[in-house]
Chains A and B, each alone.
Chain A
């Protein structure tokens, strides 16, 4: 496909006119759900969602309720017309394809759903057999958004039952946008990027080092100590280099340390971290060194020899790590 991005005002107007021509058009003939509303699928849904409302599964409770019998959760509306695991080739409409290829061809290749409004007019009783008709309600002019410049496409889906009665409507809005055209990189990070932040790399935990990470989880900075000769060692290992003993315990460090060396990472930028990222090599007052991050100091203000104190940062439910904060030295 050739990409011809409309740039001049005239080109944009012509492109918008092409898009606007689709407003009011319908995505092909009505589509009928494969099965009527049924107890088995309701059960799958409420089990997965953890919904304990008895009116979905308990015939007696449902009969006593205002619903008068088993109903499906109204919010399961879309599930009854989903195309399933192996959709037929005819499952997409020409109109939909045309709009998408028009937008893709102009560089609006990324998509994100932004809004979903469902309104319910009849309940989803067991036996209700839904069909849908989808109409293009509106296609917006070009908008600058946090994610990038793009067009909002709003469709209105009408859900009717086997008697052609209107059961529900759903207004669904997506943004088709040009990747990489969002606000400045920093702003995009705070607006959209947090969504893609993966957790920090996990430590490889072995019988020899687990104590350190378990200690950190409890906000303790532990150093491995030879039970035989008392030598402290980090990184930990199974045996003592001084006396070859395999017996060891741990001591909790005071957390007082100095900056032995440090770096400030700029590139590559791994999504788990904020950059510039300062990483220090800290010498504990007990004598061992370890690598960790800083807190409470800008990278420019870090100096070798600076006194610091340990704190603990809970990065996620499973990962708490030591980090060091500069301390004020009073003369």
Chain B
């Protein structure tokens, strides 16, 4: 596999747009998608008719052609969808990077929209899926009949083993939740604006699935997020400061399962994220020391720890020490999830995290980290996934 490619610094995120984040939008998912896409196009200073490419998640219910019709976008020369739930987030940007570099499209919108709280809730799991004899459903045969039905339950199995091997504790996971909620508390767009929590709150919150407390689990949210990707040259002529995509990468590991890679020799790492880290560091020439802030995918707190290890911010098993003493909060060594993360701001399948990365590079975050040159954003864990590095334009 090539871990070098020609896409370094070859694209830019020129516009971002979102709806409000709520528990009940009162609008169709289609309308949320239109609103976010329209806002991202306007943020970039473009007209809808200039958009010629669209990318979303295969989990999204809003076809690009419907959005194109509603917003008067017109013709599309590029459209693509990425599978594997929240793992798709940065993968949509990679698709756009490939498209604008190859010339198949000039301005590509990446988007995700859902009523994930007021509509179909992912947290309720898969018990109602009919057991049709396909590979994707046969996968659940090893879990559903035993009552292992929800993302929280699948993730908790890794968390328990991680605790066993490295001595991590529930309090260590709690540090992620406390940092997220501290940042959300000063972000007016966050659902948990002005509602910070303490480690005691985390510890006393009810069990969802041991070893996960309620406050280890991200929210369920209604909302939409979109961004516009183009070449750096075009971006420089648009409305916003140019935010370079230093690179984006996808990864599926050896013996990869969807949320349940329980059969690898070790289950305490995230080899798919390690593969992405190797690609990003090798292609950009950057490393952990070049990153001033990161958006670490946080559907469940325990898996934030091995992500920090896979990207080399600390050694394997040592994330629990790395995150101590406010290191991941504003003012610390690596402030993470400065928008509040998916625990604090909203769960928009990681797409709102990319927008926060863009704001940090623009210098417009409500929790701005000083001197940001590069921001790392990661996507869903325990699935085939993706990540990207954003940087200032030089």
Mark the stretch among B155-163, B182-190, B343-351, B365-373 that contacts chain A: B155-163
Contacts of B139 in A (CB 8 A): 235
With A204-B137, A266-B208 known as contacts, the answer to whether A261 contacts B145 (CB < 8 A) is no
Chain A interface helix/strand/loop/mixed = loop
Contacts of B124 in A (CB 8 A): 268
Alpha-carbon distance A203/B137, docked complex (angstroms): 8
Contacts of B262 in A (CB 8 A): 260-261, 281, 289, 291
Mark the stretch among A23-31, A116-124, A205-213 that contacts chain B: A205-213
Mark the stretch among B29-37, B95-103, B128-136 that contacts chain A: B128-136
B166 at the interface (CB under 8 A from A): no
User: B147–A273 contact, CB under 8 A?
Assistant: yes
B78 at the interface (CB under 8 A from A): no
B71 at the interface (CB under 8 A from A): no
Contacts of A273 in B (CB 8 A): 147
Q: Smallest Cβ distance from B204 to chain A, in angstroms?
A: 14
User: A205–B133 contact, CB under 8 A?
Assistant: yes
With A204-B134, A206-B133 known as contacts, the answer to whether A304 contacts B161 (CB < 8 A) is yes
Instruction: Count contacts on A: residues with CB < 8 A to the other chain.
Output: 40
Contacts of A268 in B (CB 8 A): 123-125, 150
User: B147–A293 contact, CB under 8 A?
Assistant: yes
With A204-B131, A270-B149, A289-B263 known as contacts, the answer to whether A261 contacts B142 (CB < 8 A) is no
Alpha-carbon distance A179/B174, docked complex (angstroms): 38
Name the interface residues of A272-315: CB closer than 8 Å to any CB of B.
272-273, 276-277, 279, 281, 288-293, 299, 304-305
User: Which of A235, A290, A321 has the most chain B CB atoms closer than 10 A to its own CB?
Assistant: A235
Contacts of A327 in B (CB 8 A): none
Alpha-carbon distance A242/B158, docked complex (angstroms): 26
Q: Smallest Cβ distance from B201 to chain A, in angstroms?
A: 18
User: A263–B161 contact, CB under 8 A?
Assistant: no
Cβ 8 A contact of B141, one of A205, A266, A277: A205
For chain B, which range describes its interface: under 10, 10 to 19, 20 to 34, or 35 or more residues?
Answer: 35 or more
Contacts of B125 in A (CB 8 A): 268, 270
B313 at the interface (CB under 8 A from A): no
Closest A residue to B214 using CB positions: A267
Cβ 8 A contact of A208, one of B127, B138, B144: B138
A93 at the interface (CB under 8 A from B): no
Contacts of A288 in B (CB 8 A): 263
Cβ 8 A contact of A262, one of B126, B127, B143, B157: B157
Cβ 8 A contact of B209, one of A200, A264, A289: A264
Alpha-carbon distance A263/B156, docked complex (angstroms): 6
User: B267–A272 contact, CB under 8 A?
Assistant: no
User: A304–B142 contact, CB under 8 A?
Assistant: no
Contacts of A263 in B (CB 8 A): 148, 153, 156-157, 160, 209-211
With A266-B207, A267-B206, A268-B125 known as contacts, the answer to whether A204 contacts B147 (CB < 8 A) is no
User: B263–A261 contact, CB under 8 A?
Assistant: no
Contacts of A305 in B (CB 8 A): 164
Contacts of A262 in B (CB 8 A): 157, 160
Cβ 8 A contact of B133, one of A201, A204, A291: A204
Alpha-carbon distance A124/B379, docked complex (angstroms): 73
Cβ 8 A contact of A321, one of B135, B145, B207: B145
Contacts of B137 in A (CB 8 A): 204
With A208-B138, A267-B207 known as contacts, the answer to whether A261 contacts B157 (CB < 8 A) is yes
A86 at the interface (CB under 8 A from B): no
Name the interface residues of A77-127: CB closer than 8 Å to any CB of B.
none
With A235-B263, A261-B158, A264-B210 known as contacts, the answer to whether A270 contacts B147 (CB < 8 A) is yes
Contacts of A208 in B (CB 8 A): 138
B140 at the interface (CB under 8 A from A): yes
Interface pairs (7), CB distance under 8 Å: A203-B131, A203-B141, A205-B138, A235-B139, A261-B164, A264-B207, A267-B208
Q: A-contacting residues of B (Cβ < 8 Å)? A: 123-127, 131-135, 137-150, 153, 156-158, 160-161, 164, 206-211, 255, 260, 262-263, 267
Of all A-B residue pairs in the complex, the 9 with the closest CB atoms, nearest first, are A203-B141, A204-B131, A204-B137, A264-B210, A201-B144, A261-B161, A263-B156, A266-B207, A273-B147
Besides the contacts A204-B140, A263-B156, A264-B209, what 8 more A-B pairs have beta carbons closer than 8 Å? A209-B138, A261-B157, A261-B267, A263-B153, A265-B147, A270-B149, A281-B161, A291-B262
